Amino acid sequence: MAKIVGGLASSHIPSIGGAMAKGLAQDPYWKPFFDGFPPAREWLSRVKPDVVVVFYNDHGLNFFLDKMPTFAVGAAKQYANADEGWGIPTLPPFMGCPDLSWHIINHLVDKEFDVVTCQEMLVDHAFTLPLKLFWPGASCPVLTVPICINTVQFPLPSASRCYRLGQAVGEAIRSWDSDLRVAVLGTGGLSHQLDGERAGFINKKFDLEFMNSLQDNPAWATQFSIHELVEKTGTQGVELLMWLAMRGALGTSVKEIHRNYHIPISNTATGVIALEAT
């Protein structure tokens, strides 16, 4: 059976892509953020995942407000990136893992999750940039399975439902008849609000409590409703749902390998974490 080696989480701000393209990783503004990744890359070089299941949220490249699924799973042989209008480079297609995708889809349906199945899928910066941060080579060396969670248009899935989704995905991975090694990645956040009266809002205290909870008390954030999470983290900070789904997939016991937290990058509290499944 397949083995889950651990989980990763990272912010996915579009300007990160611009900084990478312009070689600004050592610029004083960017250095505290980019310095958070070498320890995670070192861990990845040790555990050597073959496949990465990515929980992320689409920003209008593949889904728009007229058709916004709560949960969508990619089942394609490859996933194309396209210009989103941010001025960041378009990356080569990411290779899929259809066998694992269909195994996850069937398991989720059996568990009464209603998912949209995507046999063609465009992936935006929320998917591409974290993969580039963890695997900065010319092309991504791992197979991928995208799982999109709606954090854009209400009603949003609750934190508890996203955590249970992650648990079901973890069950599916562990029951997959394969000897491949799988990592799980959650992207987005942390606290930030980009518009409205609270534009620029950051809640460091809550961010750190949330990161602390991921090791030993992963269900901690499920006590809050979506509206409470928006109040505590900002309109876009609710992207922590992807981190929560990632943690749900890892099972009961993990060991924190590395974390980094830095504010602000583009009015966003940024974080990165690596957790090894034990």
- Coil vs helix vs strand at 149: strand
Tokens of 64: 């728009």
Q: Is 192 part of the annotated catalytic residue set?
A: yes
Catalytic residue among 12, 107, 192, 262: 192
Q: What is the CA radius of gyration of the chain?
A: 17
Task: Give Cα separations from 23 to 16, 27, 155, 274 (angstroms).
Answer: 11, 9, 39, 24
Beta-sheet pairing, 71-74 with 143-149: antiparallel
Buried b (16+ CB within 10 A) or exposed e, 31-46: eebbebbeebeebbee
Residues 6+ positions from 225 with CB-CB distance below 8 Å: 158, 159
**Any idea what DSSP says for residue 96?**
B
Catalytic annotation, pick one of 12, 59, 107, 125: 125
Cα–Cα distance for residue pair 203/192, rounded to 1 Å: 8
Residues 6+ apart with CB under 8 A from 139: 92
List phi, psi (to 5°) of 99. -60, -45
Residues in the chain: 278
CA distance 153 to 66: 10
Beta bridge partners of 143: 51
d(CA 226, CA 245): 15
Question: Annotated active-site positions, please?
Answer: 125, 192
